[in-house]
Amino acid sequence: MDERAVPMRRAKTIEELYAEVRDYDLVMTVDAPLETALNGMVDRPYVGRYAITPRHLALQLSAGFLKQRLLGDLEIVTVICEETGLDFRFVHGEVQNIREIRRYTHEVRKHLYTENARQVFDSFDALPTLERVMHTFRGYEYEGFKGLRVAVIGLDFFDSLDKNMLPEDFDEIDPFTDGEFSIGEIREVGNDRLVARDAVDLIDPANPEDYAIVLNSSSPIAESVRAALYLKGLPFINSLNVRDITAIRDFIQFLRLSVTYDIVRVRDVKEIFTVFRGRFRPGRETFLLGKLVREDMNDESWELSQLMRDVMKHTFSEVAQILFKGQQLVQVNLLLEQLRMQDLKVGTRLVMRISYAVENVNELHHSEQIPEFEKKGVLIADCMRSTYVDRPVVIFMGLGRDWNPAFNWKPYLDVEDEYDINDLRMQILLQQGQRRVYCVNSFRDGERPVPCESFKRISRTDVRTFDSVGESLVPGVWASESAETMPERMGTFDFDAQHGIRFSKSTYNNYVECPRRFMFYRLIGSSSNEYTEFGDLSHEFAELYLCYPELVREKGTEYFVDVLAKRYSGISSPALDNIDRGRIRCSLHNVMRYIDGLDLRPVLDTKQSERPNGNWLMQQLGLDDSSSMAENEFSSNVHPIHGKMDLYADGQITDYKTGNPATLKEIAEKMGRDDQYYECQPLMYLALSDEREDSRRIFHQLYTLDNQMESTEGQFDINRNLRTVRLSDKPLGRELFLTDPDIRVHISEHMSAAFRGREDLLFATIEAVGTDDVTGWSNDPAMITYLTSAAGMNQNKSNQAKAVTCLRVPGKCVVGGLVVVDGVVIIPRDAEQRFLAEVDAAEKEAESFASSSFPVRPRKDCRNCDYRTLCMNDSVTGGEVLEDE
C-alpha cells in the first residue's frame, strides 16, 4: 500500500459476509441494501425472510401487536395538531425530535424541556406508530425467535430502537476482516458538470444495472449527474417524494404566489403560467402582475391572474379543480385529503402549512408516479445514509466537505461515538463494488476542494488535499468527444450572405464582456427592468414630441406624466410613486427643452406601426405617422454592425440617456475598456453615420435626469446635460493636437503656471520636434530642451521641470487612446479603425463559435453576469478562457 494513501480497515465483501452467515436461520442488519443482497443470495430452500432489518421486522409484526394499521407521518402530525391545538410546524419538529431522542435512549420525556413538547410526546406515544412497536417489543418474549440461530451484522450501527428488536441470544458478525485497504487512483476533473459527464461516460448503456453512483444527494453535483444520465438516455433508480410530483409542486407554487398577489411580478409567475399555457408580451418580466392590462397577455394568463387576485375567495379544492384535470387533480386532492384541508378557504397560514408538509414530511411517497425507466437502472446512492452497495461497479463522486456529517452536541448523544460510527460506515462504503472509480473536483467555488473529515479521523493525520487520500491523483477528463451532443445553434443566430452575424451595440457589448454571455443574450434576450422601462418611456415621448409638439403642448406635460407614471408603476414599487412622477416630469421637460432648441422641422415620412417594436405612447393616442429622424435603423455596408438612432438630424446623432450621468472621462474609459463596463455605442454609431454623406461625425448623449434640481428652473441651459463625442479624420498624434480647435482651446486654458499665456511656444515645440506619442512628450529630452530654449530659459533642472509640467498637459488629455478635452471626447481615426477591425474579427470568431460552442471568456469576471445561473461553468476571472472540454 502506498504510504501516502489513507489506511483503512479492510471490510468484508457481501459475498464474504454471506459465506459467514450462510448456516444461520436469521440474519439481522440495519442496512436495507445488504438485507436485499443477502436474501437474493440464499442458495437453499427457505420460507420467509432470511435477512431482515429491525424496522422491517417491526413493520411485519405491527398488525399483530397494535391490532390496527400504522399511521403515516402526515396523519400523525395532523392528529396531534387536532388533539393539542398546536401549530403544524411545531408539532412536526417535535415529532422529529422525539424520534431522534428515541434512537439513543428510551428516556424521552427527560429531554423534553417545555410543556408543549411533552404534550406532543404524550399524544405521539399513544398513536399506532412504528416507534411504538419497536419500543414495546421484547425479543426474549417473542416466540418467533425461539429455536433460531440469529446472526447480527455490524452491531455498532444499531440504534436504541434497533437493539430492542434483537433476540436475547445472537452471534455478532464483524463487518471487517484482517488487513488494510487504501484507495488507489483518484480522478480529478473540472467542475460538477464535467465530473458528472465523465462519470456517466463510464456506464455501459447495455448494462446500466451493474452501476451505482455514490454522492451527496443534496449537493449540486447530484443535479449534474441526473442531467447527464437524462442526456445519455440512461435509466436510473429515482426515489420520488410527493414534492417531486409535478402537479403538487405546481399547485403549491401557484398558491404561494397568489397570497402575495399585490407584490408579485411577471418574472415570478412566468414559469408557473407557462405550465398552464399562459403567455405574456415580451419585455414584461419585471412588471407587477396586478398592473398589467388584458392586452399584455393571452387568455389563459388573464384567467390565471384573475384567479390569483381572488384566490382567498376559494377553497383549496376549488382552486385545484380550476387548475387541474384527470390524474393530476386526483394527486392534489389526495394531498388535501390527507391534510384535511379540502373545504378550507385559501389563506396565507394554510398555504404555508401545505408547503411545509410537502417539503418536510418524508413519509409522503407517491411511488405510482415514478416512470418505469426510473424504477431500474443506475443506482444513485446517498453517501450520508448508505453503507453497502450491491453493484459490480461503484463510482464515488465528490468526497469533499459535502460528505461531512453534522453531529451537534446533545445531552443524550455522544458526539465522538457518532463520528466513530460514521467513520466505520465510511470505510465500508468506500470499498463497495468489484470495480471502484473515485472522482473529485479540480476546483469548487474558486478553491481547491478539501477532502471530507473522515479521512483525517481515519488516518489520524492532517489530510488537506486529495493527494494524501489515494495512492495517486490523476487530473484530466476521459469522456469521449461524442459523449455529449451539442445542440444546434446555427439557426438561432441571424446570418446574411455578406456579413454573417451582425452586431448591435448591445450584442457587441455582451460579446466583449464574454462570448458565452453574448450567446445567452441572443438566445433568450434580457427582460425589462425599472431602468430600461424608464428609458423606453422617455424615448417614446421624445419621438412623440418631435413629431407632434402642438399636441403635447395642448394636452399639457402633466397629462403625459400621468399616462407614463401609470405604466411605469407596474415595474416600479408603489412606495416610490411620488419620486417616480418627479423623475418622469424632469425627463419630459428636459427632452422638450432639447428638441425645442434644435428648431427642427421633421417630415412625417414613416409609420411607427411598421417597426418591429412600435411606439406604445403614440399607439395610445392613435398616431401612426412618424419621422425618419426618430428611431431610425442604420446598417453598415462595410462592417457587421447596425444600430437604431434615437434622433438623427443635421448630420448629428442624439441618444437619450436616463441613467446616472457620466463624465466625459468616464465615457472615454468605457469605450477604452478601462471601466468596469464596456460601452461601444459612440464608436459604433459614429462609424455608421460616417458612411452617410450628410454626416458631421458628432454624437450627443442627452442625460435627461442630470441636474434635476436646477433643471426645474425656467432658464436652465439644457446643454449642461449634454455630452458630445466627435470623430476626427486624423489619428492620435502630433497632427491631431496641432489642428483640432477643441484640443488647442483646452490646452490654452489649462497651461501650467510657468507657460500660461504662452501656449504658442508649446504648439511650436510640438510642430518642430513632436512625435506621435502624445503621452511620452513629457519624457522626450528633445521636446523639453526645445521648449525651454523657445521660452528663453536656462537649461537647468528647475526650468526643465517647468517644461515637463507644461508637456504633461496634452498627455493628460489622452484616455484609453481617445482624447478628452473640455466639452467633448474626440475619437481619433486610428482608434475608430481599431474598433472596426476588432468588430470584423469578432464577427468571424462568433460565426465559428455558432457551429460549436461559445467559450467562457469574461473581460472582468463572472460574478456580475446576468446569465450566471444559466452558465454551467465555474466562475472564472477576467482574461481566463474556459472552453467546453
- Enumerate residues 6+ apart whose C-beta is below 8 A from 42: 50
User: Closest by alpha carbon to 479, among 162, 196, 863, 851?
Assistant: 196
Cell 478539501 sits on residue: 450
Per residue in 20-79, pLDDT tens? 999 999 999 999 899 989 998 888 777 677 899 999 999 988 888 888 888 888 888 889
For 191-228, write each residue's pLDDT tens digit: 788 888 888 989 999 999 999 999 988 888 888 888 88
Is the whole-model pTM more than 0.85? no
Position 574 pLDDT exceeds 70: no
Q: 834 Cβ partners below 8 Å, 6+ apart?
A: 817
The three cell numbers locating residue 858: 469574461
Residue 847 has a pLDDT of 87
**How distant is the alpha carbon of residue 537 from its chain centre?**
30
- Identify the pLDDT of residue 239: 54
Single out the residue of 481, 453, 386 nearest to residue 31, CA to CA. 386
**Cα distances (angstroms) measured from residue 270 to each of 165, 291, 312, 597, 797:** 52, 15, 21, 44, 72
Q: What integer best gives the mean pLDDT of the chain?
A: 86
Report the alpha-carbon distance of residue 73 to residue 793 in Å, rounded: 97
pLDDT of 877 strictly over 60: no
SS3 415: helix
pLDDT tens-digit map of 290-333:
888 888 899 999 999 999 999 999 999 999 999 999 888 988 88
Section 636-645 average pLDDT: 93
The three grid cell numbers given for residue 450, joined into one nine-digit string: 478539501
pLDDT interval class at 821 (50, 70, 90):
very high
Q: What is the pLDDT of residues 582-593, one digit of tens each?
A: 888 999 999 999
Residue 569 has pLDDT above 70, yes or no: no
Highest mean pLDDT among 173-177, 415-419, 669-673: 173-177
Q: Which whole number is the average pLDDT over 547-573?
A: 84
Helices 326-339 and 348-360 cross at an angle (nearest 10°) of 100
The rounded percent of the chain whose pLDDT value lies above 70 is: 90
Using CB atoms within 10 Å of the CB of residue 254, give its burial: 0 to 12 exposed, 13 to 18 middle, 19+ buried: buried
Neighbours of 816 (CB within 10 A): 15
Max CA separation in the chain (angstroms): 122
Which residues have CB under 8 Å from 314's CB, separation 6+? 307, 322, 345, 346
3-state secondary structure 131-188: HHHHHHCCHHHCHHHCCCCEEEECHHHCCHHHHHCCCCCCEEECCEEEEEECCCEEEE
- Please give the Cα distance from 732 to 770 (Å, whole number): 13
- How confident is residue 666, by pLDDT bands cut at 50, 70 and 90? very high
Mean pLDDT of 792-818: 93
Q: What is the DSSP letter of 861?
A: B
At 441 the pLDDT is 84
pLDDT at 728 over 60: yes
Please state, in angstroms and rounded to a whole number, the distance separating the CA atoms of residues 131 and 59.
10
Q: Do the beta carbons of residue 484 and residue 231 sit within 8 Å?
A: yes
Q: Which three cell numbers stand for residue 398?
A: 465528490
> Looking at residue 369, what is its pLDDT?
47
Under 8 Å between Cβ of 509 and 597 = no
What integer pLDDT is reported at residue 798 of this predicted model? 93
User: CA 861 to CA 838: how far, in whole Å?
Assistant: 21
The C-alpha atoms of residue 213 and residue 209 are separated, in whole angstroms, by 11
Nearest-5° Cα angle at 640, 634 to 643: 25
The CA-atom distances, in angstroms, between 425 and each of 33, 69, 183, 422, 627 are 14, 34, 15, 5, 77
Query: How confident is the model at residue 873, as a pLDDT?
Result: 59
Which residues neighbour 644 within 8 Å (Cβ) at sequence distance 6 or greater? 504, 631, 632, 633, 634
Mean pLDDT of 152-158: 94
pLDDT for 439-489, tens place per residue? 988 876 666 788 998 998 898 888 888 888 888 888 876 654 443 343 333
pLDDT, tens digit, for every residue of 354-391? 888 887 776 554 434 445 555 578 998 889 889 999 99
Residues 72-90 have a mean pLDDT of 88
Cell of 426: 465510511
What length is written for the chain? 885
Residue 230 CA to residue 235 CA, distance in Å, equals: 8
> Residue 676 above 80 pLDDT?
no
